[in-house]
């Protein structure tokens, strides 16, 4: 069993879907979990992720954060680092809007990149700074773990999602580049690329399209958010110490060669 006792994990976008499942799983493994997004801290104690962790006997707190505000990101991560230290950073916050190139307006394009790319960059930048200040690890002995949640849409085209595909592709290469820079300094950076998952985001697909997508997925089904969280947990643990800059697809076999459905 993976044991993260004594470690502090920050999860962005942790109020629902993959982020919530990840926060809960990290807590089960023993980590202190800090959720940062725009809704968990204002949710009722009956529905908030942080309160669910506490009810289960874990340690958690929640903070309002707009990941597109670099100053706010710096302030929160600095506070976390000062109070606890930062061992694990999961960049999960993201948005999805449909539209081919000709159908995508300036605001849609800009928002996809502000949240998915800029937000990930701001959190990574503040995260690596905090981890380095805490004491860089020796080569081969990671001091910190960063896991970026991207998408299979960042690894291949997905008809009708121009801005989303482009933004997630940027996160893929940002992960690889940062991994090269910081692995020698003891920070292990990887990414999880989910396929189709049962979340609010995938509600944009109508029933016929969903049926087609499931039918053309090798294992015939969409993922539960916990199945994505399992991969994040693995990359956050000591078991992944020799994995650097990898993009782990959790997609039911979609990238193996499944045809694209328009």
Q: How many Cβ atoms from other residues are within 10 Å of residue 23's Cβ? A: 32
Cβ–Cβ under 8 Å, residues 164 and 158: yes
Q: Specify the length of the chain in residues.
A: 262
Tokens of 2: 């993976």
**Dihedral, CA atoms, 78, 42, 195, 220, nearest 10 degrees?**
150
Helices (H), 46-92: 49-55, 70-83
**Cα–Cα distance between 256 and 259 in angstroms, integer?**
10
C-alpha distance from residue 8 to each of 93, 131, 182, 183 (Å): 18, 11, 19, 20
Residue with tokens 């799983």: 25
For 21-141, list the strands marked E by DSSP.
32-37, 60-64, 88-91
Q: Residues of the chain whose pLDDT is less than 70? A: 136-142, 258-262
For 32-173, list the strands marked E by DSSP.
32-37, 60-64, 88-91, 144-149
Cβ–Cβ under 8 Å, residues 251 and 195: yes
Residue with tokens 């706010």: 72
C-alpha distance from residue 59 to each of 48, 93, 98, 117 (Å): 14, 21, 37, 29
Query: Pick from 142, 156, 216: which is nearest to 186 by CA?
Result: 142
C-alpha distance from residue 85 to each of 52, 63, 77, 219 (Å): 23, 16, 9, 40
For residue 89, what pLDDT is reported? 98
Catalytic residue numbers?
Answer: 164
Instruction: Give the pTM.
Output: 0.93
Q: In what order do the strands lie in the sheet with 32-37?
A: 60-64, 32-37, 8-12, 88-91, 144-149, 187-194, 247-250
Q: What is the CATH number of domain 8-248?
A: 3.40.50.720
For residue 262, what pLDDT is reported? 55
């Amino acid at each position: 069993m993976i044991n993260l006792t004594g470690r502090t994990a920050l999860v962005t976008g942790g109020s629902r879907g993959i982020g919530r499942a990840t926060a809960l799983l990290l807590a089960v493994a023993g980590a202190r979990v800090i959720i940062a997004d725009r809704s968990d801290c204002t949710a009722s104690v009956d529905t908030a992720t942080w309160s669910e962790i506490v009810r289960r006997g874990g340690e958690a707190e929640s903070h309002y954060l707009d990941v597109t505000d670099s100053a706010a990101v710096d302030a929160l991560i600095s506070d976390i680092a000062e109070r606890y230290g930062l061992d694990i950073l999961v960049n999960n916050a993201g948005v999805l809007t449909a539209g081919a190139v000709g159908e995508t307006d300036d605001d849609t394009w800009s928002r996809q990149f502000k949240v998915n790319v800029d937000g990930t960059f701001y959190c990574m930048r503040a995260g690596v700074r905090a981890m380095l200040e805490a004491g860089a690890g020796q080569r081969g002995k990671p001091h910190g773990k960063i896991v970026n949640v991207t998408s299979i849409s960042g690894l291949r085209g997905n008809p009708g999602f121009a801005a989303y595909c482009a933004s997630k592709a940027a996160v893929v290469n940002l992960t690889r580049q940062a991994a090269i820079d910081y692995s020698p300094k003891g920070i292990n950076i990887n990414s999880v690329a989910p396929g189709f998952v049962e979340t609010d985001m995938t509600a944009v697909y109508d029933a016929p399209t969903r049926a087609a997508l499931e039918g053309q997925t090798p294992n015939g089904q969409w993922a539960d958010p916990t199945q994505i969280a399992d991969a994040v947990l693995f990359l956050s643990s000591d078991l992944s110490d020799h994995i650097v800059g990898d993009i782990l697809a959790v997609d039911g076999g979609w990238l193996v060669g499944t045809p694209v459905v328009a």
